[in-house]
Every structure is written in C-alpha cells, then in structure tokens.
Structure 1
Amino acid sequence: MAPPRTPKLLLAACSLILAAACGVSAPEEGAAVLGADAPAQGLTATHAEGDLAFGAPHRFATGVTISVSAPKSFRPSASAYPQSPRAVAFGIDVTNAGDSTYRLSGLSVSAEVDGETASVKQVVDAVQGYNGIADAGKDVAPGRAVRLNLAFAVPDQQVKLRLQVRPSPSEPVAAKYCGKV
C-alpha cells in the first residue's frame, strides 16, 4: 500500500498560494518554491518571471536537483584571482536523484550583473574557501549530494545579479536565481 500523498499535495498547494500572495510568478515546470534562505547581510531578492528564490530547489529531467543559497557579500583577500573590490559567494547543492552517476565536471554556472555577462568573473580565493569547482572530476552517485562554494566578482555598489545553473552546458533549461547584491 502506497503512503498517502496528502502532505505533498498540501505542501504544493501552500507553495502556490504563498507564491501568488507574494507576487512571485509560478515556477517553470519541474521547479519548486518551497521556501528560501533569508537574504544575507542586507541583500535582497527580486524575482523576474522564471527566476527562483535563493534556496529553492530546481529538479532537472535527469533527476539532478540544484539549489543555490542566498548570496553572501565579502571582500576578497589579497591572494584572490581576479582581484576585485567585492565578491558575492553562493553555496550550490547538487543532489543526484537520477538513475545514473552524475559527473560534476558537467556543471555549468554563469552569472550576469545588471544584464551583462562579459564582465562577471568567477573569483578563486583559497584563503576564504572559494576554490571554484575543485572536485570537477568527482562522480555523484545516485542518491548522493555535494556542496560547492563559488564566488563572483561584483562592483562595490549594489547591482542586480542573476545566476544560471545547468547540470551540463548542453542542457536547454537553466535554473535561474536572481537578486540585488
């Protein structure tokens, strides 16, 4: 006998009602708005159509689920590359709920600041624990998860940042997270 689905249906209904009440558009199919981490250090989240709240998971057709934490602003150390007056860090959780092993080297993460992608560079700052995708050769077995910490250079003034995450560069759908940082 299968367990009752009432809690899942109730959670889905509450999520939709909450999204409608907050003025957030419904997520694209396969995405969930289950709640987000509170904005960190005075950072606020603003959502465009199709954007997810920071902390909300997005499940891809392959079974890989990705969630991006709320942004955390910091000043990169003197040994960081590239040098930047400010950077924003994210924790990215990757869970493999699919049937086959997921190769982390396929993960594609890109950022844009105020609609521009050319000037946004990933910051590697080993002193503060931002090493990029250090385990790129790592396999994520079905039922397992990993957490990555990535950072991107941003200007000193507050800007709108959009992060796009795909389990592979060829994936047509991106999980998009957006907020003012």
Structure 2
Amino acid sequence: MEGVGSAGAAPTQPRRDIPKPFQHYLDKTRPHPLYRWIGTFIFAILFALRVYSIQGFYVVTFFFGIFILCALVDFLTPLVNPSLQTSDGPSDEFKPFIRLLPEFVFWFDFTLAFCVAFVLTFFSVFDSHYFHWQELLIFWILYFIYIMTCQIGHMLKYKYIPFNIGKQKYGGKETVAGGGLVEMRL
C-alpha cells in the first residue's frame, strides 16, 4: 500500500530530489559537522583565489554574499517567531531553540552556493565588467552590519540565544555532601 499514513502530513523540510548515491554520502557527513565546515572553507579559499587571480566576477561574488547573508539570518532565526506568540501565563517554561534553517541545510546551501559561484567563474558571460568592486564590498559590509544589528536586537528583545555558548551544562560535577565527595550525574 502506497501512501498509508502520509495523507495530510506536511513535511518538515522541503523535499529535494537528490540522487541516491549522493544522498548516501550526504547522510554519512551529517554526524561530522567540523569536517564538513573545514572542507567548505577550503573550497571557499579556492573560490576566493580564483576570483582574485582572474580579477573578475565581482557581481557574482556579491550576489553569492547576499545569498549567504540571507541564509545566515534564517540560521539565526527561531522557527517560531516570538513576537507573534501570545503569553497568557508565566513564561518560565523551557522552550528549546529550534532554528528556522537547520545547521545541515545551512551548510548544504552554503556549499552548493559556493559550487555554483565557482562554476559561474568559468563562463565569461557571467563576468559583468564592473570595475568598482570596492563599492560592492562596502555595500555588502554595510548591509551585513545593518542586518546583523537588527537580528541581534531581535535576539536581545525576545531573549533567545541561537548557540550553546554560555548555556548551563549538567553532568559529571562533584559536590561535597555529608563530609564526603558524591558524584552527581543528571
């Protein structure tokens, strides 16, 4: 029976038609985020060296930067917008931070954007002869500062932290109880 139990169920992420062998290797990289990001940044350095060596494709790089900035905002945004939630009672209950864009999808989009931008540098039709790359860089930096200021302001206003830095950790601490050392494991 096909489709049993799937009627009316909305997928949590958009379905991507990825070939099975490629999906297999993607699934193998999921538990290794550090190695995934190291590989992506090595590829980013190759892309930057390519753009620097051919002295072109600044507009492609600019639009790539805008795409990455939009993905970063989605990565830092909670799935449920706290400004739209109504609070009837005390807000002391624990609400875990769930991202609008999960880390793996963010990494995949980031890497795919690098691949597309890198491939575009091999076709001269995409090299618009815009020689004032400094203007594009300054505009992107100003846009980045504006967007991150708004995002950090939103984080402070609704008191959420998208990272595990500074959060309380439990487990493996030793305390003195009744004159002896007792190990607490929660």
TM-score of the two chains, using structure 1 as the length reference: 0.25
Answer 1 or 2: which has greater helix percent: 2
Structure showing the higher strand proportion among its residues: 1
Higher-Rg structure is 2
